[in-house]
Structure 1
Amino acid sequence: MVRRIDTRLAEQIVAEATRVLLFDINVMDETGSILASTDLSRVGSLHRGAQIALSNGSDLEVDKAMAKRIPKVKPGVNMPIFVDGEVWGAIGITGAPEEVRQYGKLLQVLAQMILEREALTTELRRNQRHREDLVLHLINAQGSFSATELENMANRFGVDFSAFWFVLVCDFLHPKTVLNEALEDIARAQWKLSQHIPQCLSARTSHSELIILDQISISATDHCMAEIARERLFSITNLIDSSGKLPLTVSIGVGLSGITAFNHSWKSALATMQAGIARRSNLRERCFSFYEHRLFSALSTWAGTWQATEVMRPLEILKAQDRARIELLPTLKAWYRHGGQPNKTAEELRIHRNTLDKRLKRVNELCRINLSSTEDYVSMYIALQLDAP
């Protein structure tokens, strides 16, 4: 049988009571066994007075005369402890009933308050675990649940599959991060989210990573999705920052609706994190949106594949030939930055248009491509993205 009152809670009740009362206090479980007492010699023994009170479901006052008739019973008042209408145990205060009766009622209320608070905390923790389980099942594309089971579970927490959702990845990892500090920051972040953005669901996926599911409460189109994503990214980052101690990096994935949206958005957020870190201009940059790294995020899974090798081949030839002069590759990158506009490219490089044309012609010759061709233009651009540091 699982005790509703454990030793820790019983000792807490006794400790709280003895701060204001000078009488002996006993806390019993639902069988009448003493879990905690000011008289340590009684811990573990059965309290006959408590058993009677528990059996009757009402207070039992024991005076001197009754104490003589019942073995191992002292004068006092024994009261059942009710939580949500159920008897969880009993509490007793030793002394003449007429002297301790008024304190006994206060003691009973104190015990019930402590147990109700613990029950609520336990329920909140259980609820949080269920929320985290749901998040993990959603981002991992259902797992062991069917679509119907997952939808029923989601409905319990107000997750509407027809709404648009973003998945954010928060990374608390830092070269000097201590494990406990990261875990504490993640816990603080989850508490902050629950207080200020209760519709968000979150789950810890490692000792340094937190996943957040953020719902858009307004109807959105692809045209404004990038703007919404950026606003949510910085809003949530600032909220977490206000409660944490460690530096963090945050990415947000694509906003989608439907049961598969979470897995898709989560994967795009992970790819965006990788792309953002690889392409950031300075180490202080820490917020990355899928909509600002769309292509590179999509290409991140190409790393090490034969497709990437083939796309990169012309660029590798250019890098090998350009190693000594160091002019063709920077010229090509500048040309792409300006969308192939020769005047702006030449202006940035401070060279003549004819010089630019000669360099681009040399790129075509070395790489055996034609940058005027749409296919070669796009292929070389992708190669440059894959080659980004």
Structure 2
Amino acid sequence: MNPLTADVAQRIVERTSTVIGRNVNVMSERGVILASSDPDRLRHQHEGALVAAQGDRVVAIEAAEAHPLRGVQPGVNVPLHHRGAVVGVVGISGAPEEVQVLADLIRVTAELILEQSGELESGQRLQQDRDDLLVEILEGRVDHAPARRRAADLGVDLDLPRHCAVVRPADDHGTEAVRTVQWTVGHLPDVLHTRSRTDELAVWWPADSSRSGAEVRQAITAHPTALVAAESDAFGGEDGLRQAWLAALDTLAVSHLADELYDVRDLPFVALLCGLRGDRRADAVSAPWRALLAADRHGELRTTLRAWIEHDLHPGDCAAALHVHRNTLRGRLARIEAITGLDLRRVPHLLQLYLGPLLAGTGDNT
């Protein structure tokens, strides 16, 4: 694909004409003026440029020669090359003996701009192809054998275990923050990413690349109030990208419960049960928690329960964390047991309270 578009041609003209103080034209390989210091010459045919492109040679035109040629002024026209092929012509107006050296300098500048544009377009095309593949994988619309071949062509190793982070806007500034994170992680060589129409960003990085993981997390945490995010354990194999994404989604679905009884590190485990919410059996399990929620108007008992679980049912550590006497702790635990009808030293009873916020569908009500 020819990288010499009208936009690129205009960039060449702007970059060079202001420096040399002369009229600069950029023509297509067919001699049509794509950009010029003189806007009136746009889209006109330049016969000198056409000769330069077709013959792949420099065409210098004196004043006497310019008159009979269509769209031509005195100057020098130099072919532009990209990957060995003539893709256009750059011309500079003036007496050939005065502008020949300038024409060579402009050609070098123009070809550098062309190379950069070609690399950018190639990178954008690669990212779009990867985006298409990732979306199809996430939606479960791919056959594994063709997907494996496509992934290999795009430089994606499907067998490589990867973590996934899912990022969503949390407020009015979140959409822009998501785009900033996407731009940042897009510069990491071993990171995959795709963004949905709802501005949900999914990012994957190799399990053996702690540096990439740290950079992804740093990009996300740079926007602590604008974004909500969760990450998954590493998954590999043909369905690894989708499994990691689903695991991150599950964790994100319960991340608002981190202020209840759950350590953020335990959210992937808690997420396994989020599908039970609303089931009649879940209602029965969560009934003691709902009773505690109704009775604990100031949150003191829930704070005590959280500390009791965090300190593994150890009275001394729990009382110290709450800055209360052991007898005070004992009294609070007794009140919790009276309200819920559960024994806090029995694992099944404690588990019932632990899962209560999830199964009851409550957020942070403290």
- Alignment partner, residue 312 of structure 1: 286
Decide whether the 8 Å contact of 2:78 with 2:107 is kept in 1.
yes
User: Residue 109 of structure 2 corresponds to which residue in structure 1?
Assistant: 110
Q: How many residues align?
A: 357
Matched, 1:255 2:234: yes
Q: Give the counterpart letter for 2:218 in structure 1.
A: N
Shift of residue 32 of structure 1?
A: 0.9
State the match for 1:386 in structure 2: 359
Measure, in 1, the Cα distance between the counterparts of 2:348 and 2:224. 49
Contact in 1 for aligned 2:174/2:226 (Cα 8 Å): no
Which aligned pairs between 1:136-215 and structure 2 lie closer than 5 A? 136-141=135-140, 143=141, 145-174=142-171, 176-177=172-173, 179=175, 181-191=176-186, 194=187, 197-206=188-197, 208-215=199-206
State whether structure 2 residue 266 is matched by structure 1 residue 269. Answer: no
Change (3 A) 1:29 1:310: same
Letter in 2 for 1:161: L
C-alpha distance after superposition, 1:280-300 (max 9, x if no partner): 269xx9xx86x5223321122
Q: Give the Cα separation in 2 of the matches to 1:362 and 1:36.
A: 80
Shift of 1:46: 0.8
Q: Distance in 1 between matches of 2:64 and 2:37?
A: 24
Structure 1 residues without counterparts, runs of 5 or longer: 219-227
- Amino acid paired to 1:120: E
Tell me the residue number matched to 2:11: 12
Q: What is the Cα deviation at residue 47 of structure 1?
A: 0.8
Q: Distance in 2 between matches of 1:213 and 1:57?
A: 47
State whether structure 2 residue 23 is matched by structure 1 residue 24.
yes
> Under a length normalisation based on structure 2, what TM-score does the superposition of the two structures give?
0.78
CA distance in structure 1 between the aligned counterparts of 2:272 and 2:196, rounded to whole angstroms:
22
Other-structure match for 1:303: 277
TM-score by length of 1: 0.74
Partner of 1:221: none
Distance 1:349 1:257 in 2: 48
Runs ≥4 residues deviating over 4 A = 231-235, 239-242, 244-247, 313-320, 326-349, 351-364, 370-381
Letter in 2 for 1:213: W
Give the superposition deviation at 1:49.
0.9
Give the Cα–Cα distance (whole angstroms) in 1 for the partners of residues 75 and 331 of structure 2.
Answer: 106
Identity of aligned residues (%): 25
Q: Out of 150-159 and 14-23, give the one that drifted further.
A: 150-159
1:243-286 CA-to-partner distances (Å, cap 9, x unmatched) read: x696543321122221222222222212222323222269xx9x
Evaluate the alpha carbon distance shift between residue 341 and residue 113 of structure 1 in structure 2; reply closer, same or farther with a 3 A threshold: closer
1-side partners of 2:307 and 2:71: how far apart? Answer: 93
Matched position secondary structure for 1:199: coil
For residues 67 and 356 of structure 1, the distance between their equivalents in structure 2, rounded to whole angstroms, comes to 99
Which letter maps to 2:242? N
Change (3 A) 1:341 1:361: farther
Q: CA deviation at 1:316?
A: 4.8
Task: Please name the residue that 2:100 is paired with.
Answer: 101
- Kept in 1, the 8 Å contact 2:167–2:178? The answer is no
1:150/1:92 Cα in 2 relative to 1: closer, same or farther (>3 Å)? same
- Cα pair 2:260 2:306 within 8 Å, conserved: no
* Rounded Cα–Cα distance in structure 1 between residues aligned with 2:11 and 2:296: 73
Once residues 81 and 259 of structure 2 are traced to their aligned partners in structure 1, the CA distance between those partners, rounded to angstroms, is 60
Q: Which amino acid aligns with 2:184?
A: A
| CA shift in 2, pair 1:25/1:305, >3 Å | same
The range that moved more, 63-72 or 83-92, is 63-72
Letter in 2 for 1:350: N
Q: Post-superposition shift, 1:119?
A: 1.3
